[in-house]
Amino acid sequence: METIKPHIIFENKYQFQIGDVKQNIIHYDFDRILEYLDYKGKLLFGKKFKIYSEDKALIFKLCVYFIQDVSNCKKFNIDPNKGILLSGPVGCGKTSLMKLVKYILPHIKPYEVVPCRNIAFRFNRNGFSTIQQYGDNNYYCFDDLGVEPTGKHYGADCNVMGEILLSRYDLFLKHKIRTHATANLNAQELEQRYGNRVRSRMRQLFNLLAFDKESEDKRE
């Protein structure tokens, strides 16, 4: 039976070795990870994709979180047991980055990136079963948290993502299942959107990582 080598990733005809094994411990190399992410990013998002130098410090934090580098997580005040809430201006690359970084761990079950707007629309069609659906044991990254419309089903309004976050919090407490999200809104705006109770749970659910407020719109 072939030994799993999570530090060696195969893409098409190419092999990317993003770390070395020493005494049965993988020592990841950030420069090699960046090379792989640049290649994978072009596969996912097109040839114009590139990793911006001003984003490398943030990408490094994301990488040490996902590879569970405990010493660097401690250095950056990142709790490896919580999820990630990645915030930043519109167009800075939050969604692309969260879709991309999961590929550095091919041996781990990946999370699904789901737009919050789509979840709200699904609630409008299917009702409260939607909240149950995303309160399950699967791994999700909720994209564009806080700007989704209010859910409406048979005349009943519902703060759909607020209810789902409460369910995800219960999952986190009982089963240590992590949840990720991206948001354009700051902490105060999220609290206005979801209320103090949900905001309090979000502090326990997420590590907050943020792009610089002046980050350029990379979609142009």
Mean of the per-residue pLDDT values of the chain? 93
Is residue 81 in some structural domain? yes
Q: Which long-range contacts (CB under 8 A, 24 or more apart) does 174-177 make?
A: 175/137, 176/81, 177/137, 177/139
Is residue 220 in some structural domain? no
Is residue 54 in some structural domain? yes
**Phi, psi (rounded to 5 degrees) for 64:** -65, -30
- CATH of residue 14's domain is 3.40.50.300
**In this predicted model, what pLDDT tens digit does every residue of 45-86 receive, in sequence order?**
999 999 999 999 999 999 999 999 999 999 999 999 999 999
Region label for 22, one of left (φ > 0), alpha (ψ between -120 and 50) or beta (otherwise): beta
Q: Chain centroid to CA 150: how far?
A: 23
Domain count, the chain: 1
CA dihedral 124, 129, 134, 138 (to 10 degrees): -140
Segments forming the whole domain that contains residue 77: 8-210
Q: Side chain identity at 204, as an amino acid letter?
A: Q
**In this predicted model, what pLDDT tens digit does every residue of 76-125 receive, in sequence order?**
999 999 999 999 999 999 999 999 999 999 888 899 999 999 999 999 99
Question: Cβ neighbours of residue 156 under 8 Å, at least 6 residues apart?
Answer: none
Is residue 217 in some structural domain? no
